[in-house]
Chain A
Amino acid sequence: MLDRLDVLHTNAFVTCTTAEPAHPLRRLRKVPNAECSRRMTHDIVLFAAAFLASAVEAVEALTIVLAVGVVRGWRSTLIGVGAASLVLAAVAAALGPALQHIPIETLRFVVGALLLAFGLQWLRKAILRASGYKPLHDEAEAFSRGRQEAGSAGTVDRGRIDWYSFTVAFKGVLLEGLEVAFIVVSFGAAQGHWGPAVAAAVAAGVLVVAAGLVVRGPLQRVPENTLKFVVGVLLSSFGIFWGGEGAGVEWPGGDVAILGVIGFVALISLVFTRALRRRRIALQPVAAQG
């Protein structure tokens, strides 16, 4: 598709013009075409996936940072956040250019397979939570547990840095951030351009931090489990799509097939959730009797 299109990167997304010689009367304006709108659709879905995934990870990282910062002070905590951000930036900066040397089909195969394995973990947990087989992730509880741990940890005063705060903030931001970096690098590399994925991650990070500053507490109202369900569906779908392309599949309908894959994965996930919920409810009286 790329060899048939002249792709111009504008802001985060792309605008397309046909590569064929332009009609003299149409030389001055870009000609929208079906391929272009398909590509735009793909970019928008990709942006949504990267944004939601990054937002979920940012909410979790924010909870950890808030819990430590509120109890033990902000200086060492923020140094930990800064150090983790530098490591993440270095990882992304090293991985991005390195991946550009790998042939796109190989890259899509590897990235697709990894995204699918990663996405199915999210989806599996989200379905088990939604059906009641696993407890829901509760940011308020995570925050209060973090506060308790931070309060009970002894203050180890080595110079002017509180190493407990530094380590917990560093580890929390690094681990959650690595998942974001993985998603951004995967999406950017497999798609061949980085705009949507990077813009989505930055937007999600800024939005979550801003919301955290306004609320001054854990973001309890974020429907985290629902978001994880949606992200699991999207990551798994992109994994199927790119992994399939990398393995030699030609999807019916080309790029638009991603919408069909997303619809299919969402449908089976909802059906499984419903079936498991019914099963759990049906078994409850039996368990109570036992």
Chain B
Amino acid sequence: MKYLRSFGRFWWNFIVGDDWRVAAGLVVAFALTWLLEHEGMSAWWVLPLGVALLLFESLWREARSAETQ
């Protein structure tokens, strides 16, 4: 059980990392891209925009948290 937990933790850290909100936001951005493309709309802009917003939000939250410590 201990090994299973550390195996799971390793992959979580490897893929999701410090901020799970970024990973969750990426899932939403990919889903939106897929949905728009399958509705016949051009959605190439969704991922770059999503990445910019997610990065901004994550960095500023981290900065605020560092400032209050």
**Which A residues have a C-beta under 8 Å from some C-beta of B?**
109, 113-114, 116-118, 120-121, 123-125, 127-128, 131, 133-134, 178-179, 182, 236, 240, 243-244, 247-252, 257, 261, 264-265, 268-269, 272, 276, 279-280, 283, 287
Q: How many A-B residue pairs have CB under 8 A?
A: 98
Most buried by A among B34, B38, B44: B44
Interface string of B37-69 (1 = CB under 8 A from A): 110001110011001101110111011001100
Q: How far is the CA of A280 from the CA of B67 in the complex (A)?
A: 8
Query: If the complex has contacts A124-B59, A265-B51, are A247 and B33 also in contact, measured as CB distance less than 8 A?
Result: yes
Cβ A283 vs Cβ B67 within 8 A: yes
Residues of B whose CB lies within 8 Å of any CB of A are: 14-19, 22-23, 26, 30, 33-34, 37-38, 42-44, 47-48, 51-52, 54-56, 58-60, 62-63, 66-67
**Contacts A117-B26, A124-B55, A133-B62 given: A240-B17 contact, CB under 8 Å?**
no
Q: Decide: A249 near B37, CB < 8 A? Known: A118-B14, A261-B48, A268-B55.
A: yes
Partner of A247, one of B37, B59, B60: B37
Counting chain A CB atoms within 10 Å of each CB, the highest count among B30, B42, B60, B66 belongs to: B30
Secondary structure at the A interface, as helix, strand, loop or mixed, is helix
State the 4 A-B residue pairs at the shortest beta-carbon distance, nearest first.
Answer: A248-B37, A121-B17, A247-B33, A247-B34
8 Å CB contact of B22 from A120, A178, A182, A276: A120
How many Å lie between the Cα of A272 and that of B56 in the bound state?
A: 7
